[in-house]
Structure 1
């Protein structure tokens, strides 16, 4: 009976057995998953909840997710299995022959100890942490894939609300003490507007994602009750709040991503029903996007001129030779070559980098990540991870191509198209942000990323004329019937 209920759909948008755990997971991830460190106290709550949600999603909706989006789910399964491979103990003769393991072999020999069974990862504990960190994104991906279009849009709007909340907390942090109670993590950028995050760069990525989310929201607002102008005013106010806040976070990465997100929000925006709207509303819809863009740019310029544009100042004063992240790149590249093709193991960056770190880089500061997630992925995951990254990039390009070719869509598919555009922009921001940071390693942004991947995959089901969700989501061996 429980499986039958979990397999049901409600296209009218009511909360059901798919929607409520999905929305709850998003709220929990954003509120307590703002740090990528493995030693934060909130993981004591987040990890058990992630495990429970993972079991629920796989058991009740796993097969339905594979039927709805086989390519995306197969890709996700390969990522998960690769993480599993990194924690499986290997015989001494096998792991000791892997590239880059000479140091570990020498340690055991000097200590006079026999070589034990060890996994592929050179940091087994960190590899287990990396595997556990995939439970929540994998569960959210399954639930997002089987969710209806209305539920996906509702969840994206929830991300919008939580993003604005993080921005408000960031503003209060600027107004309060740098050591105040509104900084929720011990290791954080005190004095900066980090919001619900520990790192100002990750906060800036979420703030940049609010621009396409706002464009999606106003595009899909139902004007049946005549509230379109109210939603426009609230959305413009939110954008006017977010734009200068990105500048004062001090994130150079966020400054670039904010500009890109603002420009691509024009692509997301679509009010085709403006022709049937009142004349005053239609005029507002026609010119408002350009007015908003211009106003936000002027507001950002005013923020810089008033000496509150910390991100702009840090960008102007950037000295690559004095930035530890740039200085470490040759060492990281050396490690990547030494451990190729199998990598050093997921989660092993910190320990392996310290064994290679030259004396010239020793300082009170340290690198817990490469600050280039693509390079760190190649270093820790090796060739298999690189192939998976290429595979994911190809799927993304095919999806964007489908979006660009989707011009004349049926009325029922319009919301799916706009939501998919928004998801594509956010995924692009996360991918670009990973060039100089590691945003997807935080649980909250990882959940945002996999959710957007599920939304973007939905355009293939629409264009291929897939069966309605309530016909696809039935469990194994269960009769398919409309609700």
Structure 2
């Protein structure tokens, strides 16, 4: 598999596709953690991604021709779904869709009559915004899939470095009890680590993804780099705990399982002294991990930030089950077509049970799986299941044939995203969408070689 030719023509390696995508990852990290409420930040990242697509047309063409068919199909259908939902439909069609009675009634009240054409989406501007959010991961997938394995590792190391930078920023924020250093106007307690996100669950997941990659990117032939990656992974997991995100704390079990899996692989290696050095590094990481867990347990017993994080598991007060129940009911009203991508906030209020109404507004379903079901119906569920199948199958392929550890780590990180999506909305900001695109690039490597 050959590396892609440098883009932007004359600047050689400085402006190579790898460097361009590294810049995109850093930009998404800096500006993309706030979600839909920060449209200008998101727009800057999306425009830069469009610039990269325009500057690397041949690479996009190679992806369209040589990428595995299933991956190309997933990318195409994912981009097409919100666009199809924007296409105006004749009244005989859209009025027959489930849940359109309120739309027809509003047209009549506005004096528009019943002969108006309308799109499947109940809020076209929101659905267009949803399509725009897909530009960044699509750019990473299309251009990143044409790179060499070494360049893909470089992209992943860039994401890990962003995780380390987020950890440093979070340490500064905590040092000041969150009185300075916050990038978004959240109202946190003094012991919650936000870093570059407006949602601590996203911060914690970002650290978990970084830990999975740090544990698997280092080449066993370079024990020092392997050791540095392991130490960084442990620090990122501590950062995930300091976010006090319960879902992220649970998900730290995945990189720990990944560490155990890699230690077992080290133990099974036989060969020259170099291999024994790698085994020694593995033993050191195992001891270091055990000591870190012991230190966390001691800190929790003595009180402080770790104790505050663990105590949150005792808090049973949550309105998520009520939101899930109402979302499931609302999804049934629009099944199987859905209400349109990103329209949850507009339609949920119509179907919220009176007994569950509270001063707080449910702007999200706090379950991306349910939210996709409401917004995109059976098509959205099939696409989500297709992506999950791609992650699981690709992870197994990477583990069975080699293994190629960056692909295994990317698969574990992808599983972490899917798991948190059960109770939160991880893929509703540009930073984590960018990370998801990067994981797909790492997962697709072996499949692309086979396809060629």
Counterparts in 2 of 1:171 and 1:40: CA distance versus 1, 3 Å: farther
Contact kept? 2:8, 2:15, Cα under 8 Å? no
Contact kept? 2:53, 2:60, Cα under 8 Å? no
Cα deviation, 1:124-178, whole Å, max 9, x if unaligned, reads 1110100111111111110111111000001111111100111111121111143
1:425 equivalent among 401, 412, 416: 412
Distance 2:169 2:295 in 1: 20
SS across alignment from 2:384: helix
Q: Which runs of 5 or more residues in structure 2 are unaligned?
A: none
Contact kept? 1:53, 1:139, Cα under 8 Å? yes
How far is the alpha carbon of 1:94 from its aligned partner?
A: 1.9
How far is the alpha carbon of 1:313 from its aligned partner?
A: 1.1
Deviates most, 378-387 or 42-51: 42-51
Q: Which runs of 5 or more residues in structure 1 are unaligned?
A: 468-483
1:457 equivalent among 441, 444, 447: 444
Where does residue 162 of structure 1 map in the other structure?
Answer: 162
Where does residue 378 of structure 1 map in the other structure?
Answer: 373
Deviates most, 165-174 or 306-315: 306-315
Compute the RMSD of aligned alpha carbons. 2.6
SS across alignment from 1:42: helix
Where does residue 103 of structure 2 map in the other structure?
Answer: 104
Cα deviation, 1:88-115, whole Å, max 9, x if unaligned, reads 2222332122101111111222333224
Deviates most, 76-85 or 290-299: 290-299
Contact kept? 1:243, 1:296, Cα under 8 Å? no
Contact kept? 1:268, 1:421, Cα under 8 Å? no
SS across alignment from 1:365: coil
TM-score normalized with structure 1 length: 0.84
1:304 equivalent among 295, 300, 303: 300
Contact kept? 1:347, 1:380, Cα under 8 Å? yes
Deviates most, 268-277 or 91-100: 268-277
How far is the alpha carbon of 1:314 from its aligned partner?
A: 1.1
Cα deviation, 1:381-400, whole Å, max 9, x if unaligned, reads 10111111222232233223
Where does residue 474 of structure 1 map in the other structure?
Answer: none
2:314 equivalent among 308, 313, 316: 316
How far is the alpha carbon of 1:268 from its aligned partner?
A: 4.7
TM-score normalized with structure 2 length: 0.89
Is 1:342 aligned to 2:344, yes or no?
no
Where does residue 196 of structure 2 map in the other structure?
Answer: 196
Counterparts in 2 of 1:314 and 1:190: CA distance versus 1, 3 Å: closer
Distance 1:344 1:254 in 2: 30
Counterparts in 2 of 1:287 and 1:438: CA distance versus 1, 3 Å: same
Listed as ranges, the matches of 1:30-429 within 5 Å are 30-57=29-56, 59-66=57-64, 67-115=66-114, 116-180=116-180, 182-187=181-186, 189=188, 191=190, 192-218=192-218, 220=219, 222-223=221-222, 228-229=223-224, 231=225, 234-268=228-262, 275-277=271-273, 281-282=277-278, 284-307=280-303, 308-309=305-306, 310-317=308-315, 319=316, 322-406=317-401, 409=402, 417-429=404-416
Distance 2:241 2:390 in 1: 33
